């Protein structure tokens, strides 16, 4: 996700901004920029690509003199990577400069309102709306302008702001996107994350939601959303730089697992407006959606696994036939595609060679394509006819977690919207689905808080040689992902099996103490899967069951049970995956594996 740095003090700001941004590079970005007040005006310099480009352009900041400034590394969400879309963004008179991390969910509505007032926009970003809105409300008091903006914007933001009319002050404000203030010896700083300030200070304030920080060279003040002054305690950071990049987590994978509630919120909320699903971004007419005869979902790895989940949901809720294919198979099997089919390519990186080739295969045949992608401006995002972004932010760990969860909820939204447009479900059913969907983040948070129990259980299996994951229906889909997570980060052999299929051969592998994770969340299939569990335990398997709260009956059959909160049956994969991710993570850590960079794996497989 984006990185923000700001500095005001007795030193030249630009070199400090560039240094701070370099400590945030791990967050992933595609462009960068800095703004510095030079005593007369706010000067801005931006560059696409790596921070090095910006450093070269400014001779490591030497060409931008001034003691106050803000800087930004942009992870594109609205608007592809470009100079125009890079931050900082100005108001028209260039008297206000803004850097932003987060998603302004109602930016289109605000943009239309401001355009109606004569404001002209130069970028495709949601952030530029904030710069013009500050201008719209600014009547001489920055705090008043900021609080009025806070009351108008919806979504998540961490903002660094400079007003030309108030050169000796930096302003910062946040809601749902992290932002800290550093109190240094020769100046004060703002940043998205601790690593950016550690070189200058370990004395930081963590800005809470809807708090405003006001920094001068000497002082730091804090205000609430009503513009009233508040007091805050500072914290002394004792992390080393390496730990700090992971936000205090031991690994990026763990950090990204804990970001899942936010990435699910960020992927859902901008698309749920006044109780309705808004997928205007796809530019698909209702007629087009009604004409779809068949959906082909094509992807690799974990993205493929979300496709298997989506098959059940699309067919179950929207009654549209779905075929799920591994991209590496699809591209060579001369697939049978009809004119009214829709090919959906799912990809976190948007650069997976097989998935990109599959996309091109479908396009060459004139079939409509939709990409569900996490990286804005990536090849698949650019080449697909339509794109639906998962706003998970950059995923650093090779084993996907937060992007996987964001893909799932994006697919649920599509299936429900398609079902509604095709008259398969009522508005009341849509409302019920949305209610359950919007509870998922807090339910995921609750499951993540349960990590000790799973960590303890995982420690018993770090020497395991084979682990099986079984389930029926959606529980089979999530078993695939659970198995891959364990394999790829702990190097323990694992297989996912349709529970009903075990007796057709694989059950011969079950020995005394073999661990089998049985996912049992589908009520209609409980009894069937419980009988499979009995088949397994009677042959010596140790069965870990993942099931819905309240299904205590299963304790008679399984050896160990992890409960997930009740949710709509179509959404259980989003919850069942959490204990399975935690299990794999702690087994891998217990084995001393390189959790974030497992052997032989790449984050994006851009070769065949």
**Helices and strands, number each (H, E), in the chain:** 20, 27
Q: Is residue 479 close enough to count as binding ligand AGP by CB under 6 A?
A: no
d(CA 89, CA 101): 12
Using the minimum distance from each CB to ligand AGP, give the nearer residue, 198 or 303: 303
Shortest distance (Å) from residue 263 CB to ligand AGP: 14
Shortest distance (Å) from residue 5 CB to ligand AGP: 29
Using the minimum distance from each CB to ligand AGP, give the nearer residue, 181 or 410: 410
Q: 531-558 burial string, b = 16+ CB within 10 Å, else e? A: ebbeebbebebbbbbbbbeebeebeebb
**Are the beta carbons of 202 and 209 closer than 8 angstroms?**
no
Query: Which residues between 38 and 77 bind ligand AGP (CB under 6 A)?
Result: none
* Site residue total, ligand AGP (CB under 6 A): 15
Q: Is residue 352 close enough to count as binding ligand AGP by CB under 6 A?
A: yes
Angle, alpha carbons 295-296-302 (nearest 5°):
120
Binding ligand AGP by CB under 6 A: which of 488, 525, 542, 587?
488
Query: Given CA atoms 55, 606, 355, 251 in this order, what sign does their dihedral have?
Result: negative
Cα separations (Å) of 467 from 364, 487, 491?
Answer: 42, 9, 11
Binding letters toward ligand AGP, positions 383-402, x by CB under 6 A: ---------------xxx--
* 2 among known catalytic residues: yes
Q: Is residue 263 close enough to count as binding ligand AGP by CB under 6 A?
A: no
SS3 label, residue 459: helix
Name the nearest CA neighbour of 217 among 10, 34, 5, 16. 10
Using the minimum distance from each CB to ligand AGP, give the nearer residue, 301 or 473: 301
**Region near ligand AGP per CB under 6 A, out of 240-248, 299-307, 360-368, 527-535:** 299-307
Using the minimum distance from each CB to ligand AGP, give the nearer residue, 343 or 499: 343
* 603 among known catalytic residues: yes
> Dihedrals φ, ψ of 188, to 5°?
-120, 155
Using the minimum distance from each CB to ligand AGP, give the nearer residue, 172 or 375: 375
- Structure-token pair, residue 481: 């992902």
Shortest distance (Å) from residue 382 CB to ligand AGP: 15
- What is the Cβ-side half-sphere exposure of residue 373, based on CA atoms within 13 angstroms? 29
Q: Is residue 260 close enough to count as binding ligand AGP by CB under 6 A?
A: no
- Structure-token pair, residue 469: 């994951």
Q: How many CB atoms lie within 10 A of CB 238?
A: 7
**Are the beta carbons of 582 and 448 closer than 8 angstroms?**
yes
Shortest distance (Å) from residue 364 CB to ligand AGP: 20
Selecting among 2, 368, 485, 487, the annotated active-site residue is 2
d(CA 438, CA 574): 12
- Structure-token pair, residue 299: 């992807």
Query: Which residues between 537 and 596 bind ligand AGP (CB under 6 A)?
Result: none
Binding ligand AGP by CB under 6 A: which of 156, 355, 420, 514?
355
Is the preceding omega at residue 88 within 30 degrees of 0, hence cis?
yes
Long-range contacts of 243-249 (CB under 8 A, 24+ apart): 244/193, 244/194, 244/195, 244/198, 245/23, 245/26, 245/193, 245/195, 247/193, 247/194
Using the minimum distance from each CB to ligand AGP, give the nearer residue, 148 or 603: 603
**Region near ligand AGP per CB under 6 A, out of 176-184, 222-230, 342-350, 530-538:** 342-350
Q: Is residue 348 close enough to count as binding ligand AGP by CB under 6 A?
A: yes
Residues in the chain: 608
**Are the beta carbons of 297 and 311 closer than 8 angstroms?**
yes
d(CA 9, CA 29): 27
Using the minimum distance from each CB to ligand AGP, give the nearer residue, 302 or 369: 302
Shortest distance (Å) from residue 491 CB to ligand AGP: 14
Name the nearest CA neighbour of 578 among 447, 458, 441. 447
**Are the beta carbons of 409 and 541 closer than 8 angstroms?**
no
The CA radius of gyration of the chain, in Å to the nearest whole number, is 25
Shortest distance (Å) from residue 479 CB to ligand AGP: 15
Selecting among 109, 273, 439, 603, the annotated active-site residue is 603
Using the minimum distance from each CB to ligand AGP, give the nearer residue, 260 or 352: 352
Shortest distance (Å) from residue 271 CB to ligand AGP: 20
Q: Is residue 604 close enough to count as binding ligand AGP by CB under 6 A?
A: yes
Using the minimum distance from each CB to ligand AGP, give the nearer residue, 237 or 486: 486
Q: Is residue 303 close enough to count as binding ligand AGP by CB under 6 A?
A: yes
Using the minimum distance from each CB to ligand AGP, give the nearer residue, 125 or 349: 349
Shortest distance (Å) from residue 344 CB to ligand AGP: 13
Q: Is residue 302 close enough to count as binding ligand AGP by CB under 6 A?
A: yes
SS3 label, residue 181: strand
Q: Is residue 343 close enough to count as binding ligand AGP by CB under 6 A?
A: no
Q: Is residue 405 close enough to count as binding ligand AGP by CB under 6 A?
A: no
- Structure-token pair, residue 159: 């903002």
Shortest distance (Å) from residue 373 CB to ligand AGP: 8
- Structure-token pair, residue 260: 């899942």
Give alpha helix (H) positions in 153-285.
241-245, 252-258, 260-268
**Region near ligand AGP per CB under 6 A, out of 54-62, 341-349, 452-460, 520-528:** 341-349
Q: Which residues contact 146 (CB under 8 A, 6 or more apart)?
A: 134, 161, 171, 173, 212
Binding ligand AGP by CB under 6 A: which of 13, 300, 406, 477?
300
State which residue has the least CB distance to ligand AGP: 301
**Region near ligand AGP per CB under 6 A, out of 177-185, 346-354, 500-508, 583-591:** 346-354
- Give me the residues that bind ligand AGP (CB under 6 A), please: 300-303, 347-349, 352, 355, 398-400, 488, 604-605
User: What are the residue numbers of the active site?
Assistant: 2, 603
């Amino acid at each position: 996700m984006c990185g923000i740095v700001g500095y005001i003090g007795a030193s030249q700001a630009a070199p400090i901004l560039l240094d701070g941004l370099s400590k945030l590079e791990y967050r992933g970005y595609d462009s960068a920029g800095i703004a510095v007040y030079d005593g007369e005006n706010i000067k801005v310099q931006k560059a696409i690509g790596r921070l090095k480009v910006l450093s070269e352009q400014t001779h490591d900041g030497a060409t931008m003199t001034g003691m106050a400034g803000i800087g930004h590394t942009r992870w594109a969400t609205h608007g592809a990577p470009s100079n125009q879309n890079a931050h900082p963004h100005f108001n028209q008179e260039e008297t206000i400069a803004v850097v932003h991390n987060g998603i302004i969910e109602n930016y289109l509505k605000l943009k239309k309102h401001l355009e109606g007032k004569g404001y002209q926009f130069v970028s495709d970003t949601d952030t530029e709306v904030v710069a013009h809105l500050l201008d719209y409300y600014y009547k001489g008091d920055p705090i008043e302008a900021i609080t009025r903006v806070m009351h108008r914007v919806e979504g998540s933001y961490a903002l660094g702001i400079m007003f030309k009319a108030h050169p000796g002050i930096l302003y910062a404000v946040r809601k749902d996107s992290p932002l800290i203030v550093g109190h240094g010896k020769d100046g004060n700083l703002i940043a998205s994350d601790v690593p950016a300030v550690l070189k200058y200070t370990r004395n930081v304030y963590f800005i809470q939601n809807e708090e405003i920080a006001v920094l001068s060279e000497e002082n730091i003040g804090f205000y609430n959303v009503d513009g009233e002054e508040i007091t805050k305690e500072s914290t002394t950071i004792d992390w080393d730089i390496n730990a700090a990049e992971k936000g205090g987590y031991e690994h990026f994978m763990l950090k990204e697992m804990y970001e899942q509630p936010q990435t699910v919120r960020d992927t859902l909320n901008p698309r749920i407006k006044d109780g309705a699903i808004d997928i205007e971004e796809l530019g698909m007419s209702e007629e087009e959606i009604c004409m779809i005869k068949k959906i082909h979902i094509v992807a690799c790895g974990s993205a493929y696994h979300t496709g298997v989940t989506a098959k059940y949901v699309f067919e179950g809720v929207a009654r549209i036939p779905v075929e799920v294919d591994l991209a590496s198979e699809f591209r060579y099997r001369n697939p049978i595609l009809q004119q009214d089919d829709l090919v959906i390519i799912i990809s976190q990186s948007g650069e997976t060679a097989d998935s990109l080739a599959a996309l091109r295969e479908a396009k060459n045949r004139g079939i409509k394509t939709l990409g569900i992608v996490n990286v804005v401006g990536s090849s698949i995002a650019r080449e697909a006819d339509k794109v639906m972004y998962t706003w998970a932010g950059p995923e650093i760990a090779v084993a996907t977690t937060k992007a996987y969860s964001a893909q799932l909820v994006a697919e649920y939204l599509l299936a429900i919207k398609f079902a509604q447009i095709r008259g398969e479900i009522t508005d009341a059913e849509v409302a019920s689905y949305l209610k359950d969907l919007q509870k998922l983040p807090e339910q995921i948070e609750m499951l993540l808080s349960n990590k000790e129990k799973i960590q303890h259980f995982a420690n018993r299996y770090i020497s395991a040689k084979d682990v099986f994951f079984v389930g029926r229906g959606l529980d089979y889909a999530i078993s695939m992902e659970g198995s891959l997570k364990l394999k790829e980060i702990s190097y323990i052999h694992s297989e996912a099996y349709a529970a009903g299929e075990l007796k057709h051969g694989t059950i011969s592998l079950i020995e005394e103490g073999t661990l089998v994770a049985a996912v049992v969340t589908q009520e209609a299939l409980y009894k069937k899967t419980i009988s499979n569990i009995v088949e397994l335990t009677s042959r010596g398997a140790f069965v870990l069951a993942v099931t819905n709260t309240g299904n205590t009956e299963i304790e008679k059959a399984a050896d160990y049970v992890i409960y997930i909160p009740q949710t709509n049956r179509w959404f259980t994969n989003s919850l069942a995956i959490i204990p399975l991710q935690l299990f794999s993570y702690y087994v891998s850590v217990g084995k001393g594996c390189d959790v974030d960079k497992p052997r032989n794996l790449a984050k994006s497989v851009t070769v065949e």
